Every structure is written in C-alpha cells, then in structure tokens.
Structure 1
Amino acid sequence: MTADRPLRADARRNRAKVLEAAETVFATRGTGASTEEIAQAAGVGIGTVFRHFPTKEALLEAVFLSRLDRLAAQLRAAADQPDPGRAFREQIALAVDASPAKNAIADALAAAGVELDAVKAGVGTGVRDALDLLLRRAQSAGAVRADLDVPTVMALLIGASYGVEAAGDDRGRRALVINVLLDGMSAG
C-alpha cells in the first residue's frame, strides 16, 4: 500500500480504534504501556497496530498529533461561542487539566529522540491560530487582559501544565492552579 492511496473504510476504523485506545491506555497506564495492551483495548490484533504504526514511537507521535488536532478544533469552535470570555476560560482550563497526559507523551517522544518541533510543525500552527482567534475575541469582549498575546498565553499554559502535574491527583490543588492562572489573565 502506498502512502498516497487512501485507506479502506475498515482500515480507517481500525486505525481510529487503535488511536483512541492508545490515548486512553497511555493516559491511564502511562507511556510505558505495551502495544499489546493497546491492541487488546482496541479489540484488534497486534498486527493491526503495527500495520498502521510500525513502531511505538510512531503510535505515540500519532496520539500526540491527534490531541493537538482536537485541541485546535476545540479552540476554533470555542471562538464562535456567544460568550468569548467564558469560552476562553473553559478552553484554557481544559487544556491545562489535560496537559499531564500530553506532557508524558511529549517526554516519551523526546526520550526516543523524536524532534517534537518537527512533529508538531503544521498542527502547532493550527493550535496557535485558533488560540489567537479565541484570545482576540475574549479581549474584544473585555474578559481577558489586552496586553496578552499568544506566545505569552502559551508560556503561561506550559508553566501551568507543570503546576497541575506537580499537584498530582489532588483535584482541589489542580483546580486552584488553573483558577490562579485564569484570574491572572482576566481583564478585571
């Protein structure tokens, strides 16, 4: 099969099942989980996993990119909400709360020698553009500080992502980290 030829419908479904299972397994069991565990969770054979993702790093990379694609889509959809300030707060809170799992995948890829900047080049632009749109709309509504720009918000997100990671399973502490971040970005 060539890279240019589209996948059959059943192959697309299997690929999607493997990606979904991998994301769940990596989030619950960590990036050290085996491909066999992922195949079992997806309800497919190990050969199916390797047919779509020849290495575990390829699978981790696909999960990482899938998460970024989903984040970009969520940010774009949020920018169309009637209350952009509320949408901004919700999306930032969701992104920060989900970041420990993303960080674990990014760390595993980096440890495997994968250049993350190259991996996220195209998708990262989509995330930045969607965040920029949401940020500008929230600023226009007077809900977010006017002096913030996307690179600053992204730097704050990175810092907060490690803050919630340090909070571990303490939901109250994680929520406090997120609320302090959001309050600091608030226009009021």
Structure 2
Amino acid sequence: MTADRPLRADAQRNRARVLDAAERVFAERGTAASTEEVARAAGVGVGTVFRHFPTKEALLRALVLARLTRIAAEARAYAAAPDPGAAFFDFFAATVRGSASKLELLDALAESGVHPDETAAPVAAELTEAVAALLHRAQRAAAVRADVGVDDVVALLAGASRARRHTPDERPLTVILDGLRAPGAPGTP
C-alpha cells in the first residue's frame, strides 16, 4: 500500500475496527494489553493489526491522533452552539473529564521515547484552530477573559487533565473555569 493510494473499503473497515477495539481494550486493561488482545476484540487476526499498525507504538499514535481529531471536531461543533460562553465552558469541562485514556496513551508513548508534541503534530494546527474559534467566539460574547490566548487554553486543558488524575473532585476544574471567566460574566464568582 502506498501513501497516495487510499485503502480499500474492507481495509478501511478493518482499520476502524482495530482502532475501536484498541481504544476499548486499552481503556479496560491499560496500555500494557497485548496487540493479540486488540486483534481478538476487533474480530480480526493479529496480522491484520500489524498490516495497519506495524508496531504497538504506531497503534498508540493512531489512537492519540484519532482522539485529538475528535476533540477538534467537538470544538467545532461547540463553536456552532447558540450560547458561545456556555459552549466554551462545556467543551473545556467535557474535554478534561474525558482525558484519562488519552493521557495513558501519551504516557505509554513517552515511555517509549516519543514526545507528546511529536505525536500530536499531524493534527496540532487543526486542533488549535478549532479551539481558537471557540475561544474567540466566547470572548466576543464577553464570557471569557479577553487576555486569554489559545495557547493559554491549550496549556490549561493539559494541566487540568493531568490534575484530574490526582483527584476526581471537580474543584480544581471549577477553579480553572472561574479563572477563565470574564469579569461580570454569568457564573463569575
């Protein structure tokens, strides 16, 4: 298979099945789960897994990219919501709450020597653009502080996601969200 030739329909389905199964298996059993377990859960042979993902690292990278692509799509969907402020804060909270499995994947890649920025590079611009659109819309609605940039939001998302590992308590997330609110915006303490 060459890079410019698209996958056949059955190969695309198998690749999607492997990714879906890998996401479930790694969420349930951790990233130490074997590629054979992923193949069984996907209902394919291990050769099919390796045809699409020659190494476990390649599979982990594909999962991270798929997750980041979904987050970008979610940001774009939230940006179309009628209440820009609520959309921004709902997106932020939902992203942090759903971050546990993504962090485990990133940690597993880091243990193999792969930096998170390197993993995210193929979708970084798309994700940043989607979050920026959501942020700017919320700022124009005077819901988010004007002095907050997209890099701040991305850093806070990453930090809040890591903090969530230490406590399932919503308080740290609430403090961050309160700090992002524009003075006088609804919900500002």
TM-score (normalised: structure 1): 0.92
1:129 maps to 129
Instruction: Give runs of aligned pairs for residues 167-186 of structure 1, distance below 5 A.
Output: 167=167, 170=168, 173=169, 175-186=170-181
Instruction: Measure the CA separation in 2 of the matches of 1:132 and 1:164.
Output: 23
Matched pairs, number? 183
Shift of 1:22: 0.9
- 1:166 matched to which residue of 2? 166
Q: What is the correspondence of 1:127-166 to structure 2 with a 5 Å cutoff?
A: 127-166=127-166
Instruction: Report the structure, 1 or 2, having the larger helix content.
Output: 1
SS in 2 for 1:120: helix
TM alignment of 1:72-151, pairs within 5 A: 72-151=72-151
Shift >3 Å, 4+ stretches: none
Aligned-partner Cα distance in 2 for 1:142–1:136: 10
Match status 1:25 vs 2:52: no
Amino acid across the alignment from 1:180: V
Which amino acid letter does the alignment assign opposite residue 54 of structure 1?
Answer: P
The residue identity in structure 1 corresponding to 2:177 is: L
Shift of 1:115: 3.6
The aligned counterpart of 1:6 is 6
- Give the RMSD, CA atoms, in angstroms: 1.3
Q: Distance in 2 between matches of 1:43 and 1:51?
A: 15
AA paired with 2:154?
A: M
Counterpart position of 1:56: 56
* Displacement after TM superposition at 1:157 (Å): 1.4
